Amino acid sequence: MFKFFNFKNRQNALQPAKAKHWISHIISELIGTIWISLGLAGLSIIVKDKIVEHYLLHNVIVGFYAGFVIVGSCLIFFGRWSVDLNPLVTIYRWLSGTNKSTYVFVKIAIQIVGAIIAGLIIYAIGHYASSVTFSTTYAANSTQASIQANHYISAHNVSLKSFIGQFDSSFKQGSAISNKTIWSGATWIFFGEMVLGAILLFPIFSPRLEAKYRDTFICFIISLDVWMGILLGSAAINPARGLAQQVPTLFFDMKNLNAMAKYDIIVATFSMILGNLLSPVLYALSQGFTEKYGNGALLWMMNHKNNRASHYVSQSEQSDKTQVEK
């Protein structure tokens, strides 16, 4: 069950061999994190009166863009230095004993710096490109218009994605922010991001995938993850990329928000990061459970008294049977 956690036998854990390798990995991790954060969180930038995501016309295109354009380009240009660009990947490498603790700490620190830089760039672009102001639902002063640079991950908005609005009017579209909607949305974000992050780790670390197909599978799974995240209302799947989306509001626009809106973004950010950071643990536990119990039980249920194979016959077998009968 806990086979994939390795805290003791870490003699094979890796880190860069020379100073020049450390430098190349750090630079690549920094630039790569900025690139992936801008490419994905940048979809939340408001240009005129629309977010960039809407210029891609449909969520299907958004998913393929995220998986094959942004993540694909990261694998091509930054993957050659074995960088992670995602704290989830880095944490799993530490849990499994494949990276040394110092190397893991440095990579996560660089990823945070890259996320903040990407967030500052998002703010700079959105602040000058946007013509949208914070709605009266969120603004601290309804008489003072404040430019909104991008759409941040909101626990309140995520709660409105659920079907609870069919039973409780507090969750219907257009309802006011409340503690109820914030904590409901935060719960969805936490569990949703934890599951989405675990799904992301599958193509990267699954020993069942051949190496030559792994990168293509990663791109495809990212696309599926983004589509699932769109349904959830929070598609971070990477705490660095998620933080980049929150930075413009957290750093510059908190003064423009009312108390409930401030509470909303803080709770959403915390839930997103915590859920993401726990996904490597969930994935490692899922690996152990599947190998020890799940896969064997599933195969037994599928194969027990299953005579499907006897229902078919190939042409060669049919010919042989005919010859025997003659």
- Determine the straight-line distance between the first and last CA of the chain, rounded to whole angstroms: 57
Cβ count within 10 A of residue 48: 8
- Judged against a pLDDT cut of 90, whether residue 270 lies above it is answered with yes
291 or 197, higher pLDDT: 197
Helices marked H in 42-151:
59-64, 72-77, 87-95, 101-129
- Of 101-105, 123-127, 133-137, 246-250, the poorest mean pLDDT is in 133-137
In this prediction, residue 159 carries a pLDDT of 94
- Judged against a pLDDT cut of 70, whether residue 82 lies above it is answered with yes
Residue 203: in which H helix or E strand, if any?
Answer: helix 179-205
Confidence of residue 280 (pLDDT cuts 50, 70, 90): very high
3-state helix, strand, coil in the chain (%, to 5): 70, 5, 25
Confidence of residue 6 (pLDDT cuts 50, 70, 90): confident
In this prediction, residue 144 carries a pLDDT of 65
Distance CA 240, CA 84 (A): 11
- Identify the CATH homologous superfamily for domain 19-293: Glycerol uptake facilitator protein. (1.20.1080.10)
Which 3 state secondary structure label does DSSP give 130? strand
Q: Which residues of 84-111 are buried (b: 16+ CB within 10 A; e: fewer)?
A: bbbbbbbbbbbbbbbbbeebbebbbebb
- Of 7-16, 67-76, 196-205, the poorest mean pLDDT is in 7-16
pLDDT (average), residues 176-185: 93
Residue 270: in which H helix or E strand, if any?
Answer: helix 259-289
How long a stretch of residues is the chain? 326
185 or 325, higher pLDDT: 185
DSSP secondary-structure letter at 67? Answer: I
Contact criterion met (CB below 8 Å) for 28 and 83: yes
Specify which residues 283 forms β-bridges with. none
Written as one string, the DSSP assignment of 34-66 is HHHHHHHHGGGBEEBTEEGGGGG-SHHHHHHII
Which 3 state secondary structure label does DSSP give 214? helix
In this prediction, residue 317 carries a pLDDT of 67
- Judged against a pLDDT cut of 60, whether residue 143 lies above it is answered with no
Distance CA 175, CA 165 (A): 10
- Judged against a pLDDT cut of 80, whether residue 4 lies above it is answered with no
Task: Tell me the pLDDT tens digit for each residue of 11-39.
Answer: 888 899 999 999 999 999 999 999 999 99
308 or 102, higher pLDDT: 102
Main-chain phi, psi angles of 150, to 5 degrees: -155, 170
pLDDT (average), residues 55-66: 93
For 24, residues 6+ apart whose C-beta sits below 8 A from its C-beta are 16, 81
Distance CA 237, CA 221 (A): 11
